[in-house]
Amino acid sequence: MRRSEVLAEESILCLQKALVSLREIWEVIGIPEDQRLQRTEVVKKHIKDLLDMMIAEEESLKERLIKSIANCQKELATLCRELCVEPFQEEGEPTILQLEKDLRTQVELMRKQKKERKRELKLLQEQDQELCELLCVPRYDIDGEAVPSIEELNQFRQHVAALRETKASRHEEFVALKRQIILCMEELDHTPDTSFERDVVCEDEDAFCLSLENITTLQKLLQQLDMRKSQNEAACEGLRAQIQELWDRLQTPAEEREALAVVMTGSKAKVKKALQSEVDRLEELKRQNMKTVIEAIRAELAKYWDQCFYSQEQRRAFAAYSDEEYTETLLQLHDAEIVRVKSYYEFHKELFEGVRKWEESWRLFLDFERKASDPSRFTNRGGNLLKEEKQRARLQKTLSKLEEELKAQIEAWEQEHSEAFVVNGQRFMEYVAEQWEMFRLEKERAKQERQLKNKKQTEMEMLYGSAPRTPGKRRGLPPSTPGKVRKLNTTVMSNATANSSIRPAFGGTVYHSPVSRLPPSGSKPALTSTCSGKKKMRAALRGADKENLELNGSLLSGGYPSSAPLQRNFSINSVASTYSEFARELSKASRSDATSRVLNSTNLQS
């Protein structure tokens, strides 16, 4: 049994007990039956009215709950539709009171959510309006009266965040542009003369409209100022170069130059004006010192001619160079020529630098070739010969590589400009081939001279016999290799001495004179010629021996006859256009001479 039912039964018992008590009181008092009946009717009516009133109140509560449920359901449906959420569904079969409570709670939550969304929407709209006005862009399209969905709010937030980033980046760009514009204006002594320039320079940074149009206009303004600044700087640099050139030509003392040290830097308008004044003053001095200036220009012109590898014909083409009438017209001709040659040099500077580097390497190569023909280098200590050979090999590679690079660059330049690139009046590769040909001819000439002297020496030995020579003191050599060489030389010389004759390069037999041998007793040989004749003969023989040191092969050292190396060297019968071709042919001709050259040098020294 429910507790409410128990309470109802207790209420009935209380009512019955109260009625019993009333009857007892009425009995004691002696109230008649009719009055008792009336009084009982009053009690009944009173109890009935009370219960009816209570029932009416409860019925009213029921009606209110039902009405509240209906209202909440209606409002909840509207809120769910506005907030774009699923309609509320009550689980199970709740009572009227529980249903009303649940619906009312859900309505309150929905109202709060709606209020939050409306508040955030209003805040985002305010921020969007401020940013759009600053950036000069249209506002975000969203209904301010409707309740936004969560997705719409997220998109709105992202839009406002993007506007903030745009504002930050444009503001940073604006500040940087403004700073550069102010610096350029200060450099140019320029005052803002338009409303836009005044807004940029004078107004508050936060109040400036950061539209794309304004940013683009700022960039164009900065470009214009930079262009003017660059032109000003170029003009000032040109004036400074002109002043420096005039100072050098007029031989202006250092004291006068230091007086203008202040205006020799910067490019402001006052600096440019001061530089122009100095140029005008120096130009006037130049006209007053015509001869000195022209001579200075000629010296500078000669320097640029050398740097441009001008031939004598090209130099003579400028006839005014030798004119002795120092007039204004002559000065103008020299000025025009120096400007032309300077521009020509600057335009081809990279190629001229490459040619200069090749010529330096070529001179160094010739130095190494001269050293290579010196037999005394084999007696050097300290590994100098090895170092020299390494340097020589490295230089050969560098020279070959440099020629190939220059050839490719010059060919590309000639194709681009449709004209020939000349060095000393001829095309560069022809110039290189000519240098190699001259080098080859010089080696052939030197070789033929050595062979001719060797032939004369051999003929003198055939006529007069070989003169004894006291060898000079030998330098210290490494212990291993020289022993072998000395032994080999001794064997060769002994074989040559033991034989009664040797075969010369030109045929026939050479008989040695007894004068060239010492008697067994070790005493001096008897001489049959006069003293003066002996001195002349020995001097001639010493000269021949000195020249014989440079031979590729020697008869006394067991080398090739003179005709053999000549025949090998004449195999280089083509003009070498590059170093690689020349080195390839030269290595074939000189490979077989290396051993005999070393043996010959050692034998002659010993």
pLDDT, tens digit, 9 for 90 and up, residues 189-225: 788 878 788 777 777 777 778 888 888 888 898 898 8
Is the Cβ–Cβ distance between 458 and 548 less than 8 Å? no
CATH class held by domain 328-463:
mainly alpha
Q: Phi/psi of residue 427, each to 5°?
A: -65, 145
Q: Please write the tens of the pLDDT for every residue from 127-158.
A: 998 888 888 888 888 887 888 888 888 999 99
Question: Across 342-346, 364-368, 430-434, which has the greatest mean pLDDT?
Answer: 342-346
Q: Please write the tens of the pLDDT for every residue from 155-179.
A: 999 999 999 999 888 888 888 888 8
Q: Is it the case that residue 37 has pLDDT exceeding 60?
A: yes
**For residue 499, what pLDDT is reported?**
38
Phi-psi region of 278 (alpha: psi -120 to 50; beta: other; left: phi over 0): alpha
Cβ-based neighbour number of residue 575 at 10 Å: 14
**For residue 294, what pLDDT is reported?**
85
**For residue 390, what pLDDT is reported?**
77
Q: Is it the case that residue 292 has pLDDT exceeding 90?
A: no
Which whole number is the average pLDDT over 510-523?
39
**For residue 25, what pLDDT is reported?**
93
Long-range contacts of 71-75 (CB under 8 A, 24+ apart): 72/100, 72/103, 72/104, 72/106, 72/107, 73/103, 75/107, 75/110
Q: Phi/psi of residue 129, each to 5°?
A: -65, -45
Q: What is the largest CA-CA distance in the chain?
A: 210
Which whole number is the average pLDDT over 304-312?
86
DSSP 205: G
Is the Cβ–Cβ distance between 554 and 604 less than 8 Å? yes
**Token pair recorded at residue 389:** 């050979």
Q: Please name which of 516, 597, 585, 504 lies closest in space to residue 559, comparing C-alpha atoms.
A: 597
Q: Is it the case that residue 517 has pLDDT exceeding 60?
A: no
Secondary structure element (H or E) that encloses residue 546, with its range: helix 531-548
Q: Please name which of 368, 353, 362 lies closest in space to residue 432, comparing C-alpha atoms.
A: 362
Which whole number is the average pLDDT over 39-46?
91
Sequence-separated (6 or more) residues with CB below 8 Å from residue 97: 65
DSSP 479: S
Q: pTM for the whole thing?
A: 0.41
**For residue 5, what pLDDT is reported?**
83
Q: Is it the case that residue 595 has pLDDT exceeding 70?
A: no
**How would residue 580 be classed by pLDDT, with cut points 50, 70 and 90?**
low
Q: Mean pLDDT across the chain, nearest whole number?
A: 75
- β-strand 501-502 against 426-427: which pairing, if any? unpaired
Instruction: Tell me the β-bridge partners of 422.
Output: 427
Q: Please name which of 422, 432, 269, 285 lies closest in space to residue 361, comparing C-alpha atoms.
A: 432
Question: Across 28-42, 248-262, 320-334, 569-583, which has the greatest mean pLDDT?
Answer: 28-42
Is the Cβ–Cβ distance between 152 and 197 less than 8 Å? no
Sequence-separated (6 or more) residues with CB below 8 Å from residue 429: 407, 410, 577
Phi-psi region of 424 (alpha: psi -120 to 50; beta: other; left: phi over 0): left
Instruction: Provide the H-helix boundaries in 381-529.
Output: 384-417, 428-464, 481-498
**For residue 63, what pLDDT is reported?**
92
Which whole number is the average pLDDT over 258-267?
77
**For residue 414, what pLDDT is reported?**
77
Q: Is it the case that residue 260 has pLDDT exceeding 50?
A: yes
Instruction: Provide the H-helix boundaries in 418-478.
Output: 428-464
Tokens 């200060």 identify what position?
186
Is the Cβ–Cβ distance between 453 and 547 less than 8 Å? yes
Q: Is 373 helix (H, G, I), strand (E, B) or coil?
A: coil
Burial-class residue 579 by CB neighbours within 10 Å (0-12, 13-18, 19+): buried
**For residue 522, what pLDDT is reported?**
41
Backbone Cα Rg of the chain: 60
Q: Three-state secondary structure along 4-69?
A: HHHHHHHHHHHHHHHHHHHHHHHHHHCCCHHHHHHHHHHHHHHHHHHHHHHHHHHHHHHHHHHHHH
Q: Is 423 helix (H, G, I), strand (E, B) or coil?
A: strand
Q: Is it the case that residue 80 has pLDDT exceeding 80?
A: yes
Question: Across 42-51, 257-266, 364-373, which has the greatest mean pLDDT?
Answer: 42-51
**For residue 412, what pLDDT is reported?**
82
**Sign of the CA dihedral running 487, 490, 495, 501:** positive
Q: Is 472 helix (H, G, I), strand (E, B) or coil?
A: coil
Better-scored residue on pLDDT, 512 or 314 = 314
DSSP 516: G
Burial-class residue 380 by CB neighbours within 10 Å (0-12, 13-18, 19+): middle
Better-scored residue on pLDDT, 280 or 503 = 280
Secondary structure element (H or E) that encloses residue 543, with its range: helix 531-548
**Sign of the CA dihedral running 374, 378, 382, 385:** positive
**For residue 566, what pLDDT is reported?**
34
Question: Across 318-322, 403-407, 492-496, which has the greatest mean pLDDT?
Answer: 318-322
Q: Is it the case that residue 389 has pLDDT exceeding 80?
A: no
Is the Cβ–Cβ distance between 546 and 472 less than 8 Å? no
Q: Is it the case that residue 484 has pLDDT exceeding 90?
A: no
**For residue 265, what pLDDT is reported?**
79
- Please give the share of the chain, as a percent, with pLDDT higher than 70: 74
Q: Where are the domains positioned within the chain?
A: 150-267, 328-463
Per-residue CA distances from 210 to 130, 137, 141, 169 (Å): 12, 10, 21, 10
Q: Please write the tens of the pLDDT for every residue from 348-384.
A: 888 888 888 888 888 888 887 777 766 666 666 556 7
Q: Give the number of residues written for the chain.
A: 606
Q: Phi/psi of residue 85, each to 5°?
A: -125, 165
Interior/surface letters 412-447, b for 16+ CB within 10 angstroms, e for the rest: eeeeeeeeebbbeeeebbebbbebbeebbeebeeeb
Q: Please write the tens of the pLDDT for every residue from 227-242.
A: 988 888 889 888 888 8
Is the Cβ–Cβ distance between 212 and 228 less than 8 Å? no
Q: Please name which of 136, 110, 323 lies closest in space to residue 217, comparing C-alpha atoms.
A: 136
**For residue 471, what pLDDT is reported?**
52
Cβ-based neighbour number of residue 103 at 10 Å: 22
Q: Phi/psi of residue 468, each to 5°?
A: -70, 140
**For residue 45, what pLDDT is reported?**
93
**Token pair recorded at residue 498:** 């033991």
The amino acid at 51:
L
**How would residue 468 be classed by pLDDT, with cut points 50, 70 and 90?**
low
Which whole number is the average pLDDT over 311-325?
86
Q: Please write the tens of the pLDDT for every residue from 530-552.
A: 444 444 444 444 444 444 333 33
Compute the half-sphere exposure of residue 441: CA atoms within 13 Å on the CB side of its CA: 7
Better-scored residue on pLDDT, 11 or 564 = 11
**For residue 425, what pLDDT is reported?**
77
Q: Please write the tens of the pLDDT for every residue from 60-70.
A: 999 999 999 99
Q: Please write the tens of the pLDDT for every residue from 177-196.
A: 888 888 888 888 788 878 78
